[in-house]
Amino acid sequence: MKLRSKVSLIILLVWGLLLATTYFEGKRLLTQSYLQLEHQNGMNNIIEVKETIDRMLSELSKMDAFWSIFDDAYQFMADKNQEYINGTATVSTLGQADIDVMLYFTPTGQYFYGLAVDPTREKIIPLPEGLSDYLQPKGKLVYQPHVNSSFQGFVSIPSGILLVASHSIVKSDSTGPSRGAQILAKRFTNETLKKIADTTHLDLTMYRINATSNINELKNGPLVKVGKNKKILYGYLLLRDINDQPIAIIQAAMPRDIYQSGINTMYYFNYVFFGFGVVFVFVLSYLLRSLLISRLEKLNKNIIDIGSKKQFSLRVNEEGSDELTSVEKETNKMLSAIEKYSEEQKILLKKVSDELDNVNKFSKKLQETESLLSDTINFMPSMLVIINADLTISHLNSLAEKYIEKPVTEVTGKSLFEFFPYIKNYEELLKTSFQNKTINSIDKIACPIQDKILYFSVVIYPLSHPEKGRGLALRIDNISEKVKLEDELRQTDKLSSIGILTAGIANEIVNPISFIESILPTISSNISELINTLNKYAAITSNDQWDEIKKLHGKVNNIDYDIEKTNRLLDEIKSAANQTDEIVRNLKTFVRLDENLEKNYDIKEGIDSAVNLLKYKCINRIDITKEYTHSSEINCIPGKLNQVFMNIISNAIDAIPHQGAIKIKTTEDERDVSISIKDNGTGISKEHQSKIFQPFFSTKKAESGSGLGLSISFSVIKELHGDIQFKSEAGKGTEFIITLPRGKLP
């Protein structure tokens, strides 16, 4: 196909595509725009209907306020005088005011007086059936307790719908107190609907509904929909009574003039565009052929002639001064460049050679980098294990090889747990890291080796290799020395805690010991007297010593009293000894020589021992209350947990400078036990809250604490796989919440 035909075909295709795109996309966009404009116009009309109805209610409310804020009405509610009834509450008055019902209620909601007229407003009739359902003593219409209380809305009764307004009855100067409520009601008739239609210039129809009607589409507000015949647009407005119950729907029928005008405009535009397009295609084709294609054909002929003759010294003709002329000039330049092709080839070959040298240098640097990386991995102070997705080993560094005493070639492809069995319990964590591509860590793993226990920490890194696929890298560190140091720090903190307790414990123990020392002389004296008396009895050898016997008999009577007194003193010594024993037992519970042994332990025992050891600091100053659940046993290391309780309770006591209270509460579920320790002391300032778990951080004086208590407590709770949080506000107190698992530690 020649260039002329191709250009004509391209122009036709582009024009056809443009025409089709313009038609369909324009139809879609314009149709959407006109539909939105039509919908917005319909919504505006429905809103105008609603505003017209609201104005009717407002006018009725203003009339109600005019009559209720009136001294005569205020007096009428006091004495029910006939003069007011004859002058105001009459059929003619309601007719002139376009009102159908007038009601009066007392402040307590009792019916006081009422008047209702027939639709012609010529005679009195009973109150409409169903109106009483809206006249409850505490209802929105009847109960108007304040001088400016009012309410307006609709009520639905069997005979129709009423517009109602209620206002409190007060004096003409709007002062009270309120003497009840005046209610005015007006029928919402077809004539009323016609007035609304005349005002809004809409064709309106009202349909009453009941509680079973399906009005889901109208619950969120007015609705506009296209009719089934597609020629009428319908708008719907839901009316609700004063109790927010749906009672009627007002339908507005609107012609679709806006949409139809838009469609007609769109068709007219498409016809005009088609006509202009046909003219444009023919004109463009002619101009392209005359000004461009003929010159391109000539240029093509010249190039073919030069190529067939192999005479690259020839040049094409250069005509004009447009872009095509530039092409002709560039063609001549290209022909000149071909002559220099051989020389350029040599230069290019030299460049290729230089690039190859650069590639060799880069390859050498890459090898050096790989060697450096390999040395870094092999001589890093941590064991590094690379594993595949199936948890088999793919690589080890030299430290890991030394630990398992096997080269990497022997363990490649074998299970990780065969050589690192202490990681078996964390298999799920490894799978989670692999699946989620997340970094995880294991803070401490105990590994019994021969006659000692080593501790390791593990960090899990996800890996991705373009050829070998995904895997994991495990960095394993021997933290035995770190654990040992932490234990020493923990013991230091415990000794510090014991030192703080020494004064109180000494005071508690000195009291019973001092008491025992004070009564021992009395007991010793009584026993000495008893022994002397018995010795004298033993020295009597004849009846001649009758006087001496009588004296001894008197002393025997006194000895009975001394023995009884001695027994009482011995009981008091026993009580003091028991008190001392309790103090020692509490201290022993806190110290726990078996602190590193895991066992089933009732946390209440640890809390009680800490409280008992610290109660000397609370006497006549701090009230400590404990609220325990039925069972608070967990699997833990008691000695370490007791140290946590001691640190936190001691801090709570120190945070209360004068009178205060501490509440200790335990809660539990199937998995965890929680301990809350809450005080109403000085609290922790915001600037210190981020630092309280840091080692050696303390707001106390240097002699009052080491600053290790909360740091060690945090480490202990994490070691027990629990959690410790706190809530504090300066000046209001602090609450520490410890959560511990019930099950066996991993």
**Domain definitions of the chain by residue range:** 1-255, 380-478, 479-746
Residues 6+ apart with CB under 8 A from 559: 526, 529, 530, 533
CA distance linking residue 740 with residue 603, whole number of Å: 10
Note the pLDDT of residue 342.
45
β-bridge partners, 125: 116
**Identical topology for domains 1-255 and 380-478:** yes
To 5 degrees, how large is the angle CA 605–CA 486–CA 475?
A: 120
Top-tier CATH class for 380-478: alpha beta
Angle of the 3-68 helix axis to the 190-200 helix axis, nearest 10:
130
DSSP symbols for 664-724: EEEEE-SSEEEEEEEE-SS---HHHHTTTTSTT--SS-GGG--S-HHHHHHHHHHHTT-EE
Residue among 444, 47, 388, 454 nearest 237 (CA): 47
- Strand, coil or helix: 603: helix
Residues 6+ apart with CB under 8 A from 598: 635, 636, 637, 744, 745
- Strand, coil or helix: 440: strand
Reported as half-sphere exposure (CB side, CA atoms, 13 A), residue 619 has a value of: 6
β-bridge partners, 120: none
Q: 614-628: buried (b, 16+ CB within 10 Å) or exposed (e) per residue?
A: beebbeeebebeeeb
CA distance linking residue 533 with residue 553, whole number of Å: 9
CA distances from 308 to 294, 342, 743 (A): 21, 21, 93
Residues 6+ apart with CB under 8 A from 332: 315, 316, 318
CA distance linking residue 41 with residue 39, whole number of Å: 5
Note the pLDDT of residue 594.
46
Residue among 155, 148, 157, 151 nearest 125 (CA): 157
- Token pair recorded at residue 522: 């009395």
1-255 CATH, one of 3.30.450.220, 3.30.420.60, 3.40.50.620, 3.50.50.60: 3.30.450.220
Residue among 99, 65, 93, 8 nearest 286 (CA): 8
Note the pLDDT of residue 184.
95
With contact defined as beta carbons under 8 Å apart, do 721 and 598 qualify? no
With contact defined as beta carbons under 8 Å apart, do 306 and 317 qualify? no
H helix and E strand count, the chain:
19, 22
479-746 CATH, one of 3.30.565.10, 3.40.640.10, 1.10.760.10, 3.40.50.2020: 3.30.565.10
- Strand, coil or helix: 188: strand
Compute how many other C-beta atoms are within 10 angstroms of the C-beta atom of residue 718. 13
88 in the Ramachandran plot: left (φ > 0), alpha (ψ -120 to 50) or beta?
alpha
CA distance linking residue 364 with residue 243, whole number of Å: 88
Helices (H), 310-426: 323-339, 341-378, 398-404, 408-411, 416-419
Quick one: CA dihedral 362, 367, 372, 376, positive or negative? positive
Q: 261-282: buried (b, 16+ CB within 10 Å) or exposed (e) per residue?
A: ebeeebeeeeeeeeeeeeeebe
With contact defined as beta carbons under 8 Å apart, do 444 and 434 qualify? no
What are the φ and ψ backbone dihedral angles of 439, each rounded to 5 degrees? -85, 130
CA distance linking residue 415 with residue 127, whole number of Å: 93
Q: What is the pTM of this model?
A: 0.39
- Strand, coil or helix: 334: helix
CA distance linking residue 172 with residue 70, whole number of Å: 4
With contact defined as beta carbons under 8 Å apart, do 16 and 209 qualify? no
Q: Looking at this protein, which amino acid is placed at residue 613?
A: L
Note the pLDDT of residue 662.
94
Low-confidence residues of the chain, pLDDT below 50?
342, 503, 592-594, 702-703
CA distance linking residue 558 with residue 566, whole number of Å: 12
pLDDT in tens, 521-555: 666 666 676 666 666 666 665 555 556 666 656 65
CA distance linking residue 738 with residue 644, whole number of Å: 10
What are the φ and ψ backbone dihedral angles of 205, each rounded to 5 degrees? -140, 140
Exposed/middle/buried for residue 578 (C-beta within 10 Å: 0-12, 13-18, 19+)? exposed
Note the pLDDT of residue 593.
41
CA distance linking residue 657 with residue 731, whole number of Å: 11
CA distance linking residue 712 with residue 483, whole number of Å: 12
CA distance linking residue 683 with residue 492, whole number of Å: 26
Q: Which long-range contacts (CB under 8 A, 24 or more apart) does 316-320 make?
A: 319/295, 320/295
Residue 404 DSSP symbol: H
Q: Tell the residue number behind the tokens 């309780």, with chain if given.
A: 645
Longest Cα separation, the chain: 178
Q: 222-251: buried (b, 16+ CB within 10 Å) or exposed (e) per residue?
A: bbbebeeeeeebbbbbbbebbeeebbbbbb
CA 164 centroid distance within chain: 47
Residue among 23, 22, 3 nearest 285 (CA): 3
